[in-house]
Amino acid sequence: MKQQLSHFSLAMTKWYARNAKSYARFYRETEEERLEQQANLMVRIYNKIASKVRVGGGKAKLVSDNLAQRGVNHFVEGTGDRLLSKAYWKRTLRKKTQHVHAIAPAMYCTNNKCSMRIAIDLSDCLDCEFDFIEFAQYAEQIRIVA
């Protein structure tokens, strides 16, 4: 059963172990966990950008360029520190004003109209203006193959 329901991760196995009767509660728990992971991801990416660690992708370039144009560090307290706050990202993602989904290992898309998901042909995603690439090795390998 664990292999059969692996798309729900280990949470599904734990849910069955507790003799679940309703999927509504499980769905809420799954959505909350998904939101938690997405918020952690956005905080991690924006922390890297704030620390001037190289993050690839069109969206990362746009965020970095916006910071460079204004000449103000938007990550200092009071100005833009909310971008480094998990609570801010949970609120933003819950309201659906921002969106993020995985398109490959360490590659994420922020376009809510994007239908690309993991395990697809990434040749369309490599020069997209909505993506974050945390580690460039995988993207470079895909670019060479494409």
Q: Provide the number of structural domains found in the chain.
A: 1
Q: Specify the pLDDT at position 52.
A: 83
User: Whole-angstrom Cα distance, residue 26 to residue 118?
Assistant: 23
13 is a domain residue: no
Task: Indicate the burial class of 77 (C-beta count within 10 angstroms; 0-12, 13-18, 19 or more).
Answer: exposed
Q: Specify the pLDDT at position 20.
A: 61
| Residue-number span of the structural domain to which 134 is assigned | 38-145
25 is a domain residue: no
14 is a domain residue: no
SS3 state at 21: coil
29 is a domain residue: no
16 is a domain residue: no
Quote the Cα angle for 90-36-105, to 5°.
115
88 is a domain residue: yes
73 is a domain residue: yes
19 is a domain residue: no
Q: Specify the pLDDT at position 93.
A: 94
Tens-digit pLDDT profile for the chain (146 aa)?
A: 555 555 556 666 666 666 666 678 778 888 999 999 999 999 999 888 888 888 888 888 888 887 767 666 656 555 556 778 899 899 999 999 999 988 878 888 898 888 776 656 666 666 788 889 888 777 677 667 76
